[in-house]
Amino acid sequence: MSLVEIKDLKVHYPIRSGFWNRVTDEVPAVDGITFNIEAGETYGLVGESGSGKSTTGKSVVGLEKVTGGSILYNGQDITKKANRRKLDYNHDVQMIFQDSLSSLNPRKRIEDIIAEPLRNFEHLSKEDEKLRVLQLLDIVGLDADALYKYPHQFSGGQRQRIGVARAVATNPKLIIADEPVSALDLSVQAQVLNFMKKIQREFGISYLFISHDLGVVRHMCNNIAIMNRGRLVEIGTRDDIYNHPLHIYTKRLLAAIPETNVNQRAAHRASRLAVEEVYREQQDKYYDDEGKAYPLVAVSPTHSVALPETIAKQLAQQETEVQA
């Protein structure tokens, strides 16, 4: 059984208008998505701004009011508040945010920041608590003198590591990481990504890794879901997504990642423009009449794409032929 099963999750935001300010319409931020996160794995959720990926992440932690569908954890639907409390869900599931400065209370010392989840969930003695905080700081590679400093005294990368330390304090089973490195410099990003992987190896944590950066996602995630306009357009393993993409949106995203291979610059650009051309001409083939993505159809045990079944099979066929 998967650690977390997300089934047909929907989050709609109301639009109010008219004389009495009544709800007249809804924006489907997340419009029926289904995927599973396995224990000890990193699941990548990729999409552009406005695709609904962050809303999905917040729903999984329980920060978002869900309109429909369910999120099962140990067989219980945690979209209901009572179940979250019963399961101690927020003890098991933590979150790392993009903006490390604004997500850490500027008036609290690092000791209190990291100890906060401990105080909420595991009532330790003062000494045990301190020991645990020191241990956590050690895990993320910060010195003991960090205890008494304030968030602004650290660099962006160090702060992000403090965010990681806080998230792992309660030995969670799942961490939702919402763009954890997109505000960081390359060398600092490397540091944080390494830490996240190390912690995963040591504690068997699962991640839901939300990002727009396909390079980082490729490095971190074994299974990836591509999100577009509130729906999933393609899910599969790293190999499925990066080497055999089927949906035009996935192809577009992949083609747009800048490559560091200068020698292939012209070729890469040409292939990107070719994909854009296809996108422009055949858009209606990939989306239904309302401009929404189709339901997912499996083309292999690991790989599903949001297309009508016949087209999906046909594309998968072509893909294997090209590979052969």
Partner 1 sequence: MWKTILRRILIMIPEVIILSILVFLLAKAMPGDPFTGSINPKADPAQIKHLMKINGLYDPWYQQYWNWVVHLFHGNLGNSYQYQEPVTRLIGGRATNTLWLALLTMILTYALALPMGVFAGRHEGKLPDTVIRVYTYVTYCIPFFVILVIGIWIFGYVLGWFPTTGSITSGTTGWLRTIGSRFYHILLPAVLGALFGTVNIVQYLRSEVIDAKRSDYVRTARAKGVPSKDIYRHHIFRNSLLPIAAFAGYSITGLLNGSIFTETVFSYPGMGLLFVNSISYRDYTVITALVLIYGILNLLGTLLSDIILSVVDPRIRIE
Partner 2 sequence: MGYFLILGVENENLINYNQSQLIYKAFLYTDKRRVNKFYLRMRDKLENGGITVENATDFLNIKDVSTAFKINGQFYDAISHIDLQVHHDEILAIVGESGCGKSTLATTIMGLHNPAETKISGSIDFEGTDLLQLSDDEYNQYRGAKIGMIFQDPLSALNPLKRIEDQISEVMDYHSTFTSAEKHDRVLELLDQVGIVNPKRTAHQFPHELSGGMRQRVIIAIAIACKPDLIIADEPTTALDVTIQAQILDVLREIQKENHAGIILITHDLGVVAETADRVAVMYAGQIVEQGTAEQIFNTPEHPYTRSLLRSMPQRDNENDDLYVIQGNVPSLQKMPQTGDRFAPRIPWVPASAHEDNPTMHEVTPGHLVRCTCYRDFQFPDQPEKGSVTE
Which residue, 14 or 204, has its beta carbon nearer to partner 1? 14
The Cα 4–Cα 173 span in angstroms is 10
Which residue, 23 or 256, has its beta carbon nearer to partner 2? 256
- Residue 19 C-beta: closest distance to partner 1, Å: 6
**What share of residues in the chain are helix, strand, coil (percent, to 5)?**
45, 25, 30
Q: Which SS3 state, helix, strand or coil, does residue 55 take? A: helix
Backbone angles phi, psi at 305, to 5 degrees: -140, 150
- The distance between the two most distant Cα atoms of the chain, rounded to a whole number of Å, is 66
Binding site partner of 186, from partner 1, partner 2, none, Cβ cut-off 5-8 A by kind: partner 2
Q: Are 146 and 154 in contact (CB under 8 A)?
A: yes
Binding site partner of 127, from partner 2, partner 1, none, Cβ cut-off 5-8 A by kind: none
Of 2, 5, 9, 19, which one interacts with partner 1 (CB under 8 A)?
A: 19
The Cα 133–Cα 145 span in angstroms is 12
Of 193, 278, 298, 311, which one interacts with partner 2 (CB under 8 A)?
A: 193
Stretch that binds partner 1, among 15-23, 152-160, 262-270, 273-281 (CB under 8 A): 15-23
Structure-token pair, residue 226: 């591509």
Torsion, CA 38, CA 43, CA 45, CA 46, rounded to 10 = -150
Which residue, 23 or 39, has its beta carbon nearer to partner 1? 23
- Residue 18 C-beta: closest distance to partner 1, Å: 8
Of 8, 14, 17, 131, which one interacts with partner 1 (CB under 8 A)?
A: 17
Give residues with Cβ within 8 angstroms of 58, minimum separation 6: 64, 176, 178
Give the chain's count of helices (H) and strands (E): 12, 12
Q: Does 261 bind partner 2 (CB under 8 A)?
A: yes
- Residue 26 C-beta: closest distance to partner 1, Å: 17
Structure-token pair, residue 189: 């990003």
Stretch that binds partner 1, among 12-20, 98-106, 150-158, 259-267 (CB under 8 A): 12-20
Binding site partner of 15, from partner 2, partner 1, none, Cβ cut-off 5-8 A by kind: none
Indicate the length of the chain as a whole number. 324
- Residue 28 C-beta: closest distance to partner 1, Å: 22
Contact letters for partner 2, residues 205-224 (x by CB under 8 A)? -------x-xxx-xxx----
Q: Does 186 bind partner 2 (CB under 8 A)?
A: yes
Identity at 167, one-letter amino acid code? A
- Nearest Cα residue to 292 out of 232, 213, 239: 232
Which residues of this chain interact with partner 1, rule CB under 8 A? 17, 19-21
Residue ranges binding partner 2 (CB under 8 A): 48-49, 155-156, 185-191, 193-194, 197-198, 212, 214-216, 218-220, 238, 242, 252-253, 255-263, 265, 268-269, 272
